[in-house]
Structure formats: structure tokens, C-alpha cells
Amino acid sequence: GQQLNQSPQSMFIQEGEDVSMNCTSSSIFNTWLWYKQDPGEGPVLLIALYKAGELTSNGRLTAQFGITRKDSFLNISASIPSDVGIYFCAGQLESGGGADGLTFGKGTHLIIQP
């Protein structure tokens, strides 16, 4: 099925640094979602975006729904050790019927170096 291009694939950062990751596609999306997955656990929903241009924050996390409706980014400010994990973007295609849910990126693996 349709894939989202999520980048970077992995990030090695120092504690306290800001983080930025994004998802892009050639298709138009109605919804963008960002999830975090810890090892051996299910993804947890961080932020949901339902309108083009929407900018939403959740604590140190900020995400935006691109105005072209083909991309989204997630920023994490002042990273801490518990931010380590895999971050997934997901979107609902405008062209899809919606019944089969979301299209997922392959994830960004965030690693914090001591």
C-alpha cells in the first residue's frame, strides 16, 4: 500500500538537544498522527492533527499538519532520556475510504547518547 517517507531513519543526540523529524508523501492526507513506541510495547498516540496548517503541542512535543496536506513534522524540545524510542507518523489518505485506517511511516529511532 501507500507508504509515507519518514526521516530521519535514526537520530543520535545528546540529552537536552532539540529533535526534529518529518513525514512526506506525494498524496494528500486528511489526518496526521504521531506515535511513540517503547521496546516491546504498543505505539502510544502523542499528537493528532485534523486540519491543514494546524500546530499542536503536547508538553515538549510540537507537531504541525503541513499546509499542502502532504507532510507533517514533529519537534521535541530539550530531550530527556525517556524520549528514547521509535516515533511513527501516520496519516489517513484523502483518497481512501477510511475503513482500513491509517498509512504508517517506517519510524524514526531516537537514541540519546550519554
Partner 1 sequence: DGGITQSPKYLFRKEGQNVTLSCEQNLNHDAMYWYRQDPGQGLRLIYYSQIVNDFQKGDIAEGYSVSREKKESFPLTVTSAQKNPTAFYLCASGPLSGNTIYFGEGSWLTVV
**Is residue 95 a contact point for partner 1 (CB under 8 A)?**
no
Local structure of 32: helix, strand or coil:
strand
32 vs 73 by CB, closer to partner 1: 32
In whole angstroms, the minimum distance from the beta carbon of 53 to partner 1 comes to 17
Enumerate residues 20-39 that contact partner 1 by CB under 8 A.
30-31, 33, 35
Site size for partner 1 (CB under 8 A) = 26
Binding-site member from 105, 108, 110, 112 for partner 1 (CB under 8 A): 105
Distances (CA, A) of 55 to 38, 44, 51, 77: 25, 19, 9, 15
Name the CA dihedral angle for 13, 32, 71, 104, rounded to a multiple of 10 degrees: 70
36, 32, 46, 51: which is closest to 93 by C-alpha?
Answer: 32
Q: Which is nearer to partner 1, 14 or 82 (CB)?
A: 82
